[in-house]
Structure 1
Amino acid sequence: MTIQSVILSGGSGTRLWPASREQYPKQLLALTGTDTLLQATARRLDGFNAAVAPDTIVVSNEEYRFVIAEQLRQLGKRGRIVLEPAGRNTAPALTLAALLAVRGNADPVLLVMPADHVIPDIASFQTAIAEGESLAEAGAFVTFGIVPDRAETGYGYIRSGDGVAGAASARSIDAFVEKPDAATAAKYVASGDYLWNSGIFMMKASRWLAAIECFNPEMAAACRRAMDAATDDADFVRADKTAFLTSPSDSIDYAVMEKLPSAPELGRGVVVPMAAGWSDVGAWDALWQVCEKDSAGNVGRGDVMFESSEDTMVMAESRLVAAIGLKDMVVVETPDAVMVAHKRNTQDVKKIVARLKAEGRTQANSHRKVFRPWGWYDSIDNGERFQVKRIVVNPGAKLSLQMHHHRAEHWIVVKGTAEVTNGDQVFLLTENQSTYIPLGHTHRLANPGKVPLEIIEVQSGSYLGEDDIVRFEDTYGR
């Protein structure tokens, strides 16, 4: 039987601010190596000794779609990216993926993985998956419980029961348990009967759909209508918005896994223990725990210097950061924000994000560097009535044909060749050449070359917001 990878990639990761932002969340970032968390997730079955579907199903939203497609392309992987019109938690997301997986009368075993986890021990992960696959083929609903190495209050737990006949390590699920206090967590770990709830699942697509029909027919009907009316656009499958918005919101655990004992004919729930260095990197202290450290327990990313510091993490994105005399601290530097916290307080980062949102500050939602389907731009300077951007356009890509009501623009090419539409003129510019786009002129920037096009754009006018764009034609359907 074929395993179909399903990656759930809709979270915003606010507790890893300022690196993670609502418009560019943690799963799209390379936090532990050269791969982003999404890419590392997509690689987890590489070399697995079983049939694996060539296309990875990713469930996400419109905001991240082009970045996800590009990150999969960089790995040489094909993706079918299901776009949710709105967030409805993990159960509807998996239902959309299952409906896509059974197209053409297929019925693969779904391996459902959040996009934002870290699992360094791939061999142990694949051993657990192999055991889970055989159980799922036999009709079970499988989840993977992380063998705890400490009394953790930030995770939910699974109380395991008796062993499963014929399985190497799987056990029945006695109960799902909410996040405990410290004393209760210590008792859980000491008992040996409790595992951390990883949020990773395996089951046949048909079994999941039958369970949703049984336990939440309203959700099942809404998702079926949404996929029946879905539109396919290259790598993307757009679920119908009107239908999907009628779906209730619920998690995989609550919607199905906890209810299985009431309907044994659907299949039983089992948990496979996994000891693979797993972390959901839910906060900066969790990321510190899974990163490689120096002899003093420090973790540095970017241009970082430590002096007389211990057990500290420093992430530097755009400049040198020197850490002197720090212990158990986290410092994260980005071009537009710096966060400094004690490791024991990193869960409170979300409170800062909430305050930024309440005050309408852009740092809650976006980075200074913003990715677009055609490339990216970085707002490198701004002041009263002006803004300066560095713009990079990928080979063969082009921006929309557009105009602005409130600003004019000056473009200077610093690398590559630009094809410029300026009013009724179309012409090429090369390095060190420039053009002026008057206010109200229809214009477009394209890269006809084989190397990235880089320009400096100087905007001037009474309003410089990104919403001052009137699009007449757009390759990306915006």
Structure 2
Amino acid sequence: MKVIILAGGGGSRLFPLSRKSYPKQFLKLEDDKSLLVHTVERFLDFVVPEDILIVTNQRYLYHVQNELAECQAEAAHIILEPVARNTAPAIGLALSYCESKLGCAGDEPLIVAAADHVIRPQDVFTKCILQAAQVAQQGSLVTFGIPAKTPETGYGYIEAGESDGLSFAAQSFKEKPDLKTAEAYVEAGNYYWNSGMFAFTIDFMKGEMAKYQPEIAAILAEGYEAAVARFADMPEISIDYAIAERSQAVRMVPLTCYWNDIGSWDAMYDILPKDEQGNAVQGDVLALGCTNSLIMGHDRLIAGIDLDDLLLVETDDVIVVAKKGESQKVKTVVEKLKKMGRKEAVEHTTMYHRWGTSTVIGQGVGYRMKKVRVMPGKAITMQMHYHRTEHWVVLRGTAEVMRGEEKMMIHERESVFIPQTTKHKLANPGRIPLELIEIQNGSYIGEDDIVRFE
């Protein structure tokens, strides 16, 4: 059995915490582990790291590597999508990798899961996965359905038909319904929320691709390297539309445990612990007379007074306030911000790099200040700026600096000045993280004023 975890999405529904530069799968929402780490650990209950494939894009490579190190799963395989093409091409690429690189047999079952869902308890989940793998080996595309106990309008639905004791026939897939239709589904009793998880064998999926997505199948038939090279030529389509809703051999296994895709702040409220007044509170929050509300703070004290059924999320550069039940509209906010060209739509003030992090702590006309953190043994590549100078003040650790032809060591409470058009490089030769303040001055301080030499 191989497990394919899709971790390339740049979800916006949990804005402002989740943004394109650091999306939901890397957030630590319930504890000190990210959603991706929880997902990997969930599958490590019955497979080894070498049987796990993470499909993501180049932007998130270092995030994924760091998260795999967190759960001692560095041996998992990372597959990089050249461009975003939705889940059908992503799954096809992973399938090709299994054949070409791992030598998997055609009857080996593959499990496909998202990187950002909350599922518990573990024993029930494991039982459902093994059951689905058994059904898949009988020649079916298996989808996982969540018993629809409430009329949710944010999920797609699966209509269940006859049962063979292990699974149900998936009679039809339904788009996200209005409230009246969702209530009718719950009343009928044979409708399940579509979890977006699948199980199938390699040969079965290759056959379905050839039948329903010949463009994708033709590219995959050329081998893994060709699939990577021609990935952009594949149609942009989800596995649901591409295969699941067309296949004549779809079975459904009920996922009879707690499941939450955290697709909105309302869903986030559901998974967090509540106080006696029904409030889910994180951060430095004083809630007076508040009931049934989500209040999440980051940098500042938040004082709430007599709030009811409210969602309030604060980061160091954005505050989002919404009525409970309306959080699906957060995505609309992000779309409007993108059209306005607002960087807040895609970037956090803290940016994550292969060498560490950089956080904007102040800026104005002609200047910007950042706190830079370089991990032990890492370095920022040799570069140069045409329009700005930089001044580095070391707070912690030791910096190895190349400035032109000069090499120097800068210690705590010492500083170095980098003139315009001067090649420079910053490295951390020590055993602890290097922390410094970077002060940029110039007529133009855009991030694109960087000429790299490595």
TM class, shorter-chain normalised? over 0.9
Q: C-alpha displacement at 1:408, in angstroms?
A: 0.4
Question: Is residue 145 of structure 2 the alignment partner of residue 178 of structure 1?
Answer: no
The corresponding residue for 1:144 is: 144
Q: Distance in 2 between matches of 1:128 and 1:292?
A: 26
Give percent identity, aligned residues only. 41
The 3-state SS of whatever aligns with 1:58 is strand
Q: Distance in 2 between matches of 1:34 and 1:190?
A: 39
| 8 Å CA contact retained: 1:395, 1:453 | yes
Q: Where does 1:55-134 land on structure 2 (aligned, <5 Å)?
A: 55-78=51-74, 79-103=76-100, 104-107=102-105, 108-134=108-134
Correspondent of 1:286 among 267, 276, 293: 267
| 8 Å CA contact retained: 1:306, 1:322 | yes
The corresponding residue for 1:258 is: 245
The corresponding residue for 1:244 is: 231
Larger mean CA deviation between 420-429 and 26-35 belongs to 26-35
Q: Distance in 2 between matches of 1:225 and 1:248?
A: 16
| 8 Å CA contact retained: 1:109, 1:202 | yes
Unaligned runs of 5+ in 1: 231-238, 262-267, 474-478
Q: Where does 1:296-335 land on structure 2 (aligned, <5 Å)?
A: 296-335=277-316
The 3-state SS of whatever aligns with 2:25 is helix
Q: Distance in 1 between matches of 2:423 and 2:48?
A: 48
Deviations 1:388-423 (A, max 9, x none): 100000111001110000000001111111110111
Correspondent of 2:421 among 426, 440, 446: 440
| 8 Å CA contact retained: 2:291, 2:307 | yes
The 3-state SS of whatever aligns with 1:245 is helix
The corresponding residue for 2:341 is: 360
Q: Where does 1:296-445 land on structure 2 (aligned, <5 Å)?
A: 296-445=277-426
Q: C-alpha displacement at 1:121, in angstroms?
A: 2.2
The 3-state SS of whatever aligns with 2:247 is helix
Q: Which amino acid aligns with 1:277?
A: Y
Q: Which amino acid aligns with 2:210?
A: E
> Cα RMSD over matched residues?
1.5
Larger mean CA deviation between 349-358 and 448-457 belongs to 349-358
The corresponding residue for 1:196 is: 193
Q: C-alpha displacement at 1:224, in angstroms?
A: 4.7
The 3-state SS of whatever aligns with 2:177 is coil
| 8 Å CA contact retained: 1:55, 1:77 | no
| 8 Å CA contact retained: 1:380, 1:388 | yes
Q: Distance in 1 between matches of 2:282 and 2:220?
A: 42
Q: C-alpha displacement at 1:451, in angstroms?
A: 0.8
Larger mean CA deviation between 462-471 and 318-327 belongs to 318-327
Unaligned runs of 5+ in 2: none
Question: Is residue 206 of structure 2 the alignment partner of residue 206 of structure 1?
Answer: no
| 8 Å CA contact retained: 1:39, 1:71 | yes
Larger mean CA deviation between 131-140 and 145-154 belongs to 131-140
Q: C-alpha displacement at 1:210, in angstroms?
A: 2.3
Q: Which amino acid aligns with 2:17?
A: A
Q: Which amino acid aligns with 1:414?
A: L
The 3-state SS of whatever aligns with 1:123 is helix
The corresponding residue for 1:13 is: 11
Q: Distance in 2 between matches of 1:258 and 1:352?
A: 31
The corresponding residue for 1:37 is: 35
Q: C-alpha displacement at 1:53, in angstroms?
A: 5.4
| 8 Å CA contact retained: 1:416, 1:451 | yes
